[in-house]
Amino acid sequence: MTNGFPSGFTWGAATASYQVEGAVSADGRGPSIWDTFAHTPGRISDGTNGDVAVEHYHRFADDIRLLADLGLTAYRFSIAWPRIMPDGLAGSANPAGLDFYRRLAEACLANGVTPYATLYHWDLPQPLEDAGGWLVRDTAYRFRDYAVAVHDGLSDVIKHWMTLNEPWCSAFLGYGNGEHAPGRTVGVDALKAAHHLLLGHGLALDAIRTEGSGGSAYGIALNPAPIHPASDSPADRDAARRIDGLRNRLFLEPLLSGQYPADVLEDTGTTEWFAAQEADLPLIAAPLDFLGVNYYCPTTVAAPDGPISTPGPSTQPGSENVVAVDTGLPTTQMGWPIQASGLRDILVAINKLAPELPLYVTENGSAYPDVVTADGQVEDDERLDYLRQHVAVCKDLVSEGFPLKGYFAWSLLDNFEWAWGYSRRFGIVYVDYATQQRIVKKSGRWLQDFLR
Going by the annotation, the residues of the binding site for substrate are: 19, 121, 165, 296, 410, 417-418
Number of helical H runs and strand E runs in the chain: 17, 13
Rounded to 5 degrees, φ, ψ at 299 are: -135, 140
363 is catalytic: yes
Q: How far is the CB of 122 from ligand FCB (least distance, A)?
A: 7
- Catalytic: which of 21, 129, 320, 363? 363
In the region spanning residues 290 to 329, those forming contacts with ligand FCB, defined by CB under 6 A, are: 294
Euclidean distance between CA atoms 40 and 385, whole angstroms: 37
Site string for ligand FCB, 357-376 (x = CB under 6 A): ------x-------------
223 lies in the binding site for ligand FCB (CB under 6 A): yes
* Radius of gyration of the chain, Cα coordinates, nearest whole angstrom: 21
In the complex, the smallest distance separating the C-beta of residue 310 from ligand FCB, rounded to whole angstroms, is: 26
21 binds ligand FCB (CB under 6 A): no
Query: Between β-strands 114-120 and 160-165, what pairing exists: parallel, antiparallel or unpaired?
Result: parallel
Catalytic residue among 21, 166, 179, 253: 166
Which residues make beta-bridge pairs with 164?
Answer: 120
CB of 353 to ligand FCB, least distance (A): 21
Q: Which residues are annotated as a binding site?
A: 19, 121, 165, 296, 410, 417-418
* Count of residues in contact with ligand FCB, rule CB under 6 A: 12
Strands 323-324, 299-302: pairing kind:
antiparallel
Q: Which listed range, 204-212, 297-305, 377-385, 410-418, lies at the site for ligand FCB (CB under 6 A)?
A: 410-418
- Give the angle 19-22-28 at the CA atoms, nearest 5°: 120
CA distances from residue 286 to 253, 259, 283, 332, 346 in whole angstroms, order as listed: 12, 12, 5, 37, 22
Q: Which is nearer to ligand FCB, 38 or 283 (CB)?
A: 38
Per CB under 6 A, 165 contacts ligand FCB: yes
Binding mask 240-279 for ligand FCB (x = CB under 6 A): ----------------------------------------
Any idea what DSSP says for residue 27?
G
Residue 66 CA to residue 419 CA, distance in Å, equals 27
Q: Taking the complex as a whole, how short is the minimal distance between the CB of residue 380 and ligand FCB, in angstroms?
A: 15
175 or 426: CB nearest ligand FCB: 426
Give, as ranges, the residues between 105 and 164 that touch ligand FCB (CB under 6 A).
none
323, 302 Cβ separation under 8 angstroms? yes
Q: How far is the CB of 452 from ligand FCB (least distance, A)?
A: 27
Residue list 35-74, contact with ligand FCB (CB under 6 A): none
Name which of 217, 210, 213 is nearest 117 in CA terms.
Answer: 217
Q: Which is nearer to ligand FCB, 177 or 294 (CB)?
A: 294
Task: Give me the residue whose beta carbon is nearest to ligand FCB.
Answer: 16
Alpha carbon distance 212, 394 (integer Å): 33
> Does 16 engage in binding with ligand FCB (CB under 6 A)?
yes
Closer by beta carbon to ligand FCB, 346 or else 398: 346
Residue length, the chain? 452
Residue 351 CA from chain centroid, whole number = 19
Site for ligand FCB in 418-447 (CB under 6 A): 418, 426
Peptide bond just before 313 cis, omega within 30 deg: no
The reply on whether position 414 binds ligand FCB by CB under 6 A is no
Q: Is 272 a catalytic residue?
A: no
Minimum distance from CB of 434 to ligand FCB (Å)?
Answer: 22
**Among residues 11, 57, 295, 410, which is the contact residue for ligand FCB, using CB under 6 A?**
410
CA torsion 65→69→74→75, rounded to 10°?
-40
User: Sheet harboring 299-302: ordered strands across?
Assistant: 227-229, 299-302, 323-324
Nearest-angstrom CA–CA distance, 117 and 338: 28
Q: Where does this chain bind ligand FCB (CB under 6 A)?
A: 16, 19, 165-166, 169, 223, 294, 363, 410, 417-418, 426
The residues annotated with a catalytic role in the active site are 166, 363
